[in-house]
Amino acid sequence: MADKNGYIATSKFLIASPTKVRPVANCVKFKSYPEAMAVLENMPQKGAKLISKTMKSAASNALFANKKLDEDMLFVKEIRIDEGPRLKRVWFRGRGRADMLLKRMCHITVVIDEIKKAGV
């Protein structure tokens, strides 16, 4: 999807804590697309795989909308990790007690834009 700010892709209701995914997103923010994908492929975190899938979708949106673009001409303009709903589960404990287990979800939004040439 194209916007005045760039090409956008979103992934919603991913079962991963937003506080664990945000540091991964900060590592690739404002980098070129090939460099960001190389960084994400070498990270062991679950969030890296989730972000890379969303980033591939945003890049394919950009390449489909503008046939003249190349992957080397793209950069990551913005990555937002928003909090989603929480799944509440019962966690049984000893002596007949129970705790509440929260499975947190996140929404990932990636905006990719083309690199503008200076003086063109």
pLDDT tens-place string over residues 34-60: 999 999 999 999 999 999 999 999 999
3 pLDDT band (50/70/90 cuts)? low
Q: Which phi and psi (to 5°) does residue 24 adopt?
A: -70, -40
119 pLDDT band (50/70/90 cuts)? very low
- Helices and strands, number each (H, E), in the chain: 3, 4
Q: Which phi and psi (to 5°) does residue 37 adopt?
A: -65, -35
pLDDT of 66 higher than 60: yes
* Stronger pLDDT, 92 or 67, i.e. the higher one: 92
Which of 5-9, 10-14, 67-71: highest mean pLDDT? 10-14
Count of Cβ atoms closer than 10 Å to residue 40 Cβ: 23
The gap between the terminal CA atoms of the chain, to the nearest Å, is 25
Q: Residue 11 belongs to what H/E stretch?
A: strand 6-14
Strand partners, 107: 82
* Stronger pLDDT, 6 or 60, i.e. the higher one: 60
pLDDT of 32 higher than 80: yes
Share of the chain above pLDDT 70, in %: 93
CB within 8 Å of 7: residues ≥ 6 apart: 1, 58, 59, 61, 62, 65, 111, 112, 113
